[in-house]
Amino acid sequence: MSLENTEQVAQPEAAPAMETPSEVASGGSGNEFLNMIPEELRGHPSISPIKDVENLARSYVNAQKLIGADKIAMPVNPTDEDLDRIYGRLGRPDTPQDYGIAADGSVVTEEVAKEYSDIAHKLRLTPDQAQGVLEYYRSTVEKSGAATLEIAEAAREETVSSLKQEWGRAFDQKVEAAANAAQQFGTSEMFDITLQDGSKLGDNPEFIKAFAKIADFRQSVTSEDTVADMSQSSVMTPASAQAEIDAIMNDKSHVYWDRKNPIGREKAVKKVADLMSQIHG
């Protein structure tokens, strides 16, 4: 086969020339968009992003959606007056009283309600924001109060337990005497002092024992009873009872050891038995 007889293969047609982005933006070859609008508008910055009629139509529709919407102008360097106006549009009340913050009789007092309303207005809070902050404050205070009560109750129970162990059957008598002395020589404010561990001073065992000693001293210098008579009529602490037993046991001249005095010895033996019962219950 000769080259002359070979059929000529059809060559593909050349692809049409593609417009460059700059040509499209400027109307380019075949793009008459910019030529369709007045010449004085072609260089406006709002026109430059639009590439064709479809983009123009979409921009127009979006602009129509904004027409009539409530808009807030945002100054570059707003003054306090500007901010008051802006936050007023966002819902900030005209006056602190318009928040309607009311006292609840516990956490929020009349004074707290007024002060908080003033602060919320100064910070330009909306009513919902002010109420949300107030609820957080109230919840925090209530949780803190509950925790304080738990600490105080635990301290009180521990004090009762330790003093009962130390004073035995004399516990009620000692506590009553200490309370009477505290009322005479102390103040109610002093008992409510909060210690470092969160407990009250009035629930501290050392504080109670101190006033119990004051009561004992006052009785010792004002009572006409003898120590022996007091030991028979009063309930003693285990330590005091043991001390008196030891004194009797170590004093061989005590009537407890005098067999020639059966009546006195019987009373002494009974007294020792009573002292033992106050130690061991």
Q: What percent of the chain has pLDDT over 90?
A: 17
Q: What is the pLDDT of residue 3?
A: 41
Position 69 scores a pLDDT of: 61
In contact, 232 and 271? CB cutoff 8 Å: yes
Nearest to 174 by CA among 221, 87, 235: 235
CB contact at 8 A, 124 and 83: yes
Q: Is the pLDDT of residue 236 over 80?
A: no
Q: Is the pLDDT of residue 268 over 70?
A: yes
Rounded Cα distance between 106 and 41, Å, is 68
Alpha helices (H) along the chain: 21-25, 39-42, 53-66, 80-90, 110-122, 127-167, 171-185, 188-191, 205-222, 227-233, 238-250, 262-280
Q: What is the mean pLDDT of residues 236-253?
A: 82
What is the Cα Rg of the chain in Å?
A: 48
Mean pLDDT confidence for 129-143: 92
Q: Any idea what DSSP says for residue 108?
A: S
* Mean predicted confidence (pLDDT) in 234-239: 74
With vertex at residue 241, the alpha carbon angle to CA 238 and CA 244, rounded to the nearest 5 degrees, is 150
pLDDT of residue 51: 75
φ/ψ of residue 188, rounded to 5? -65, -35
Q: Contact, 41 vs 47, CB < 8 A?
A: yes
Quick: pLDDT tens for 68-89: 666 777 788 889 999 999 999 8
- Going by C-alpha positions, the residue among 135, 148, 81 that lies closest to residue 108 is 135
**Residues 205, 160: Cα–Cα separation, whole Å:** 8
